[in-house]
Amino acid sequence: MKANMIALEGVGKQYGGVQVLHPIDLAVREGEFVTLLGPSGSGKTTILSIIAGAIAPTQGRIILNGRDVSAVPPRERGLGMVFQNYALLPHLSVFDNVAFPLQVRGLAKGEIASRVANALERVGLVGYEKRKPRELSGGQQQRVSIARCIVYSPSVILMDEPLGALDKKLREQLQAEIKRLHRDLGTTVVYVTHDQEEALDLSDRVCLMNGGRIMQVGTPNDLYFEPVSEFVADFLGESNLLEGAVTAVNTVTTRDGMVLGVRSTEGCCVGSPVKVLIRPEKIGMTDAGAPAIATQRHNVTSGKIAQASFAGGTMRVDVLCEKGARLRLKTVSSRASELVGAPVVVSWATSDAMVLKN
């Protein structure tokens, strides 16, 4: 396992009497891509600003590559920064914007020209050297911002919602490029976003924040399929959350009387109130006439289609179950929208039903 490039030890922040970031511990390994994810006001930008040195923590230490930089000025931390608003100098050309951090560092003209050419090639902007920022699209301006950041090979790159101002298609294109750059450069990246899909797609690990606290840190798979709380389950993707109580080992009975087999009830005694998480893509649907029997491995119930909506390549289908529960599932079937009110059978594996303690 690689060494920690960044370590936050008991870092917290207060403004007046308000604790905007409760004391946290967070480590980012060398070469890792870690995303700080959460709703507005969750503390993710505060953490990024503390790492960058833009604000000082009220308590705790910031360790960068083994060195305590808590009192070190931002310019001496050797970090790269990419902002949402690009922060380009409007009167300079693309070449000069990218060259600026090298000129500040006093590099020779030949070295500057070589490094700028390499950075612009990496972001696909060869031939744009003489253009001014106003002559570029938003996506091209963000590419210049990224090139300006990587041109001096910082050990850590901090990205503050860099794709937030772009449309969906362009955002997805630049996500792929950021992913490629990270793989090619091997630089440590700390990335801030409120976009869950972006976080899941880009990250080695995700740090999910809420209310100035870390709710869970883990791989995208960990957070999506093994959430530790209802907040994590509900924030990431769509989810079905059924309230009930444990009635036997690996068995939960919902409030409306459905008896469900679940992956595990370990740590919950009989009678414990719980919620069962089932992801929509894990639920299958067949016509009501198709034979389906509940087993130890599968939950099966009948119902009728209450609502269906088109969502790109999939359909979101809400099924009203016979016991009264409403389940959302995802299917590629285009017939669902024509069958609102039709009887169906829905089923899912017990291994895909996860218990969350109340």
pLDDT tens readout for residues 161-205: 988 878 888 888 889 999 999 999 999 999 999 999 999 999 999
Same domain for 254 and 134, yes or no, is no
Q: Both 70 and 207 in a single domain? A: yes
| 281 and 228 inside one domain | no
Domain count, the chain: 2
From the list 238, 230, 275, the residue with the least C-alpha distance to 254 is 275
Contact 173, 146 (CB under 8 A): no
Does one domain contain both 127 and 188?
yes
Which DSSP category does 342 fall into?
-
User: In percent, how much of the chain has pLDDT > 90?
Assistant: 72
Same domain? For 59 and 86 the reply is yes
Q: In terms of Cα–Cα distance, which of 36, 42, 66, 72 is closest to 54?
A: 72
* CATH classification of the domain holding 274: 2.40.50.100
Q: What kind and span of H or E run contains 305?
A: strand 298-311
Tell me, yes or no, whether 245 and 215 share the same domain.
Answer: no
Q: What are the CA-CA distances from residue 345 to residues 126, 274, 294 (Å)?
A: 56, 25, 11
Last residue of a domain, one of 234, 262, 280: 234
Confidence tier at 338 by pLDDT (50, 70, 90): low
* Nearby residues of 317 by Cβ (< 8 Å), 6 or more positions away: 285, 305, 307, 308, 328, 329, 330, 331, 336
Question: What CATH number does the domain containing 23 carry?
Answer: 3.40.50.300
Helices 138-150 and 168-185: crossing angle in degrees, nearest 10, is: 10
Tell me which residue range forms the domain holding 187.
4-234
Residue 37, strand partner residues: 193, 208
- Residue 286: pLDDT band (50, 70, 90) is confident
Examine the domain organization and report whether 60 and 178 are in the same domain: yes
Dihedral angle sign, alpha carbons of residues 64, 69, 70, 74:
negative
pLDDT at 354: 95
Determine which helix (DSSP H) or strand (DSSP E) holds 51, and give its type and residue range. Answer: helix 44-52
Based on the fold, state whether residues 340 and 270 are members of the same structural domain.
yes
Q: Maximum Cα–Cα distance for the chain, whole Å? A: 77
Same domain, yes or no: 55 and 75? yes
Mean pLDDT is lowest, of 118-132, 247-261, 281-295, for 281-295
Q: Within this chain, do residues 35 and 151 fall inside the same structural domain, yes or no? A: yes
Cα gap 131→90, rounded to integer Å: 10
